[in-house]
Structure 1
Amino acid sequence: MIISIVIGILILMLVFGLPVALAMGVSGAVGLYLFGGEPVLTGILKTSPVSTANSYELITIPMFILMAEFVIISGVANDLFRAATTWVGRLRGGVAMATAIAGAGFGAISGSSTAAAATLASTSIPAMLKEGYEPKLAGGVVAISGTLSMLIPPSIALILYGIIADIPVSALLIGGVLPGLLVTATIILTIAVLIWLNPAAAPVGRRYSYREKFDSVKRVGPVVLLFFAVTGTIYSGIATPTEASALGAFCAMLIAAWERKLTLRNTWSSVRSAAQTSAMILFIILGAHIFGYFFTLTRVTNDLTAWVGDLETSRWVIIAVILLGYLILGFFMDQIAILILTVPIVLPLVMQLGFDPVWFGVLVVVTAEVGMVTPPLGLNVFVVARYTNRPLGELFSGVMPHVWAHLIVIALLTIFPSIILWLPSTMQ
């Protein structure tokens, strides 16, 4: 009865639009009070904020967000798009393919999906529309390419999953590399298929000389530097994810200074934005911890695990149902909130079924990418619409072919776990 009341309060608050952190914190507090009275509630409220913030791994979140802020003001993301266009722009649909490549590159130096979508929207959509691309094709490519930042390290989503699940963050980040490349290739292949079906949707681009191509590579140097400063040091064992995040933020600041974009005003704006975003994430984690304590005391997770374990059905059917649940939740909730709310409940069940937690974490993040571009929430689509003033219906229509392609990728990652687990197994 208590569990039903608490879940009902949580759903009601979310329906009325309350912040997820507040909804989880309040509903969890009500549950704790109903379960153990005031002593249990006050005891947890006194200790939970300190235990939540007192995590060494949490430092990675503000550092990677700050790195993304410095990357944005440095303008290297625009150089990345121009370089990709120089190499593949002459193909029919080449500028759209260059957008996917730039999205992957931006993902390698930023953990923010919305920042990637905003940057690509302001850079690549005007270029594609100027070339004569169909607007819905251009908008769909930008929205889906922005989601690559959720998967390719440094990924805030994977870091949060690692902290919640208490598994090595480094293995998760490296596990996202090959799936990130697979998703990038899938986006490019989807573009090629769409253009094959409707050649009028994208023109043939202009040719570039070899000199222009190799000159463009020089501008990609900062991106390569940041990638090796973060992912390279984590993979080689030189630095932990926390140390790599600080190194990445410092290198991004140096790049912004080298590009003569690091003014006092820009620096203050970047630090303030990173602090605000970090505080928001920390607040969500705090609310989730309070909610999680209620679930722990009432043994909901243990009972659910035992119940599923007694089911006479294939574990693959259960994992398919879980992934379907994540897809449905992604239609209505923020992806970070979904991770924080569900992982403490679902992960013990997944591990009891014999699945690897690193594999499941990367798979969940790929699934969450779909929620970033599907209605009614579709945060990346709203970001693109804001920066381009294009109709939401047009953008959602343009991104749907990529959603279907993403579902195929999810199936491949489910059937072949080695795509995710091979690279982490080779780490130092």
Structure 2
Amino acid sequence: MQTIPQSAVNKNSLAAIPLFILMAQFIMHSGALNGLFESARVLVGRIPGGTAHAAVGAGAVFASVSGSSTAAAATLAHTSTVKLIEQGYDRKLSAGVVAAAGTLAAMIPPSVLLVFYAITAETGVGPTLVAGFIPGLLVAASLIVAVAIIIKAREGAAPRGESSTWSEKLRSLKALLPILVLFVVVVGLVFLGITTATEAAAIGALGGLLLMIIRGKFTRQNMKEALSESVSSSVMILTIVLAAHVFGHFIVESGITPRIVEGISGLPIPPLAIVGVIALGYLVLGFFMDQLAIIALTVPVTLPVVEALGFDPIWFGIVVILLAEVGLITPPLGLNVFVVARASRMPLETVFAGSIPFVFAILAVGLLLFFFPQLVLFLPELM
């Protein structure tokens, strides 16, 4: 207790967490996200169910700067759920797609959850962030496919698409451009090895600040709110990091992990089946616990087992985070569902019912990543 708390948080790589949070706060206070949903709607509105697809697209773009699933769900709920219902979309579909789109923030870099896992598991922060890119796109694609299936299967679930002129589409890109440029710069610098993840996070925070200044939102009140929220969120996460390291040290001193590794390694079942059982455990934990707490409490125990069985820790982390995120849209905890229900003033049971098809869509991606690890490891191996 004298040495571990100080050494746990005295790491350069940990600075990426408050910096990414600060970047997200600057961008949100700049107002650059206000037209995100409308821009996505103009670009894909012609497709049947185009506005619902736009909600997924807006969720993916918002995920690339927010790093927080709950914040993404709250923002999308305010901007898109009401508009979907006004346009004639089914209430269940409207709420469910927004709650599910919020989960993309856990996977699409720069994700705070990915950074947290990398630090807890002692894998490289840069490779772990980059590893989330393809799975994040696959989850977004699965949500779009789920929307299309729901519209086909449920008559009256969505109205006809609305076409837009090319000039409207080009104008809509203006709202997306600053966010996309910042995303490409931050992730591109890490991927190309030009900067560390921490340095890229600092550049991202500076970019967010410049965006706030350019858009005329650099006020004393906005700065106060952005800094206050960043400090509050960072202290909460760093406290979990601190406690996780104390817990991890206890696990090592107790000698539990070697015994578990020895016991599981000797089981007469394939290693992939063992990891599959562990993964199912994470799915169940996600129903009842916060994702940060799940990683902090379990990774020191499960990761040595997974590595002893010959599996990559980055691949394991992506699968774990994906499965744990399912808990954000399933009962009883379902934090994203509570956020969307409150923002859209819908009954909880309606939002939960609307989320269920998207749970299966995300689980399908989880199975894909489980059996084809290269989908996760392809980009990190190119770095």
Q: Tell me whether the two structures share a fold, i.e. TM-score over 0.5.
A: yes
Partner amino acid for 1:419? L
Deviations 1:246-297 (A, max 9, x none): 1111101111222222211011111001100110111112222222222111
The within-5 A match list for 1:6-21 is: none
Relative to the length of structure 2, the TM-score reads 0.98
Q: Provide the aligned length of Structure 1 versus Structure 2.
A: 383
| Amino acid in structure 2 at the alignment position of 1:392 | L
Q: 1:134 offset after TM fit, Å?
A: 0.9
Residue segments in structure 1 that go unaligned for 5+ positions in a row: 1-44
Give the counterpart letter for 1:210 in structure 2. W
State the one-letter code of the partner of 1:414. F
Match of 1:190 in 2: 146
2:23 counterpart (52, 67, 89)? 67
1:347 aligned residue: 303
Taking the TM superposition and a 5 Å limit, the aligned residue runs for 1:5-404 are 45-404=1-360
Cα distance in 2, alignment partners of residues 216 and 99 from structure 1: 15
In 2, the alpha carbon distance for the partners of 1:352 and 1:292 equals: 17
Give the deviation of 1:115 after TM superposition: 1.1
Query: For the residues of structure 1 that align with 2:279 and 2:34, how far apart are their CA atoms?
Result: 35
- The percentage of aligned residue pairs carrying the same residue is 47
1:408 to 341, 351, 364: 364
State how far apart, in whole Å, the 1-side matches of 2:291 and 2:310 are. Answer: 25
Contact 2:45 2:163 (8 Å CA) reproduced: yes
Task: Tell me how far 1:151 sits from its aligned partner.
Answer: 0.2
Paired residues of 1:134 and 1:202 also in contact (CA < 8 A): yes
SS of residue in 1 equivalent to 2:239: helix
Shift of 1:169: 0.9
| CA distance in 2: counterparts of 1:245 and 1:333, whole angstroms | 28
CA drift at 1:421: 0.6
Verify the 8 A CA contact 1:128 1:138 in the aligned structure 2.
yes
Equivalent-residue separation in structure 1 for 2:373 and 2:309 (angstroms) = 15
Structure 1 residue 90 displacement after superposition: 2.1
- Please give the alpha-carbon distance, in whole angstroms, between the structure 2 residues aligned to 1:129 and 1:73: 27
Q: Separation in 1 of the partners of 2:269 and 2:288?
A: 29
Per the alignment, residue 37 of structure 1 pairs with: none
Distance 1:182 1:398 in 2: 20
- Paired residue secondary structure (1:76): coil
Asked if structure 2 preserves the Cα contact closer than 8 Å seen for 1:77 and 1:102, the reply is no
Letter in 2 for 1:312: P
Q: How far did residue 87 of structure 1 move?
A: 1.2
CA contact (8 A) 1:72 1:119 kept: no
CA contact (8 A) 1:146 1:380 kept: yes
Secondary structure of the residue aligned to 1:201 is coil
Distance 2:149 2:247 in 1: 45
Instruction: Write the distance in 1 (CA, Å) between the matches of 2:152 and 2:223.
Output: 46
Shift of 1:108: 1.3
1:343-385 superposed Cα distances (whole Å, 9 cap, x missing partner): 1110010011111111111111111220111111111111111
Which residue number corresponds to residue 23 of structure 1?
A: none
Q: Which residue of 2 aligns with 1:33?
A: none
The one-letter code sitting in structure 2 at the alignment partner of 1:66 is L
Deviation at 1:125, TM superposition (A): 0.8
Q: Aligned-pair distance for 1:228?
A: 1.8
Whole-Å separation in 2 of the counterparts to 1:261 and 1:53:
33
Give the match's secondary structure for 1:46. Answer: coil
Mapped to 1, the partners of 2:65 and 2:194 lie a distance apart of 18
| Matched residue, 1:423 | 379
Q: Is the 8 A contact 1:103 1:148 kept in 2?
A: yes
Q: Which has the larger radius of gyration?
A: 1
DSSP 3-state at the match of 1:233: helix
CA RMSD of aligned residues (A): 1.0
- Following superposition, the deviation at residue 229 of structure 1 comes to 2.3
Q: In the alignment, is the contact (CA less than 8 A) between 2:5 and 2:246 conserved in 1?
A: no
Residues 75, 205 of structure 1: alpha-carbon distance in 2 compared, 3 angstrom cutoff = farther
Q: Gaps (5+ residues) in structure 2?
A: none
Deviation at 1:333, TM superposition (A): 0.3
Contact 1:117–1:145 at 8 Å: present in 2 too? yes
TM-score under structure 1 length normalisation: 0.88
Cα-to-partner distance string for 1:85-110 (whole Å, 9 max, x where unaligned): 00111222111100101111111122
Q: Distance in 2 between matches of 1:371 and 1:76?
A: 29
Equivalent pair of 2:77/2:340 in contact (CA under 8 Å): yes
Cα distance in 1, alignment partners of residues 68 and 252 from structure 2 = 31
CA–CA distance in structure 2, aligned partners of residues 147 and 352 of structure 1: 30
What whole-Å deviation, never above 9, does each CA across 1:125-153 have from its counterpart, x for those lacking one?
A: 12101101111111111111011010000
Opposite residue 130 of structure 1, the aligned amino acid is: E
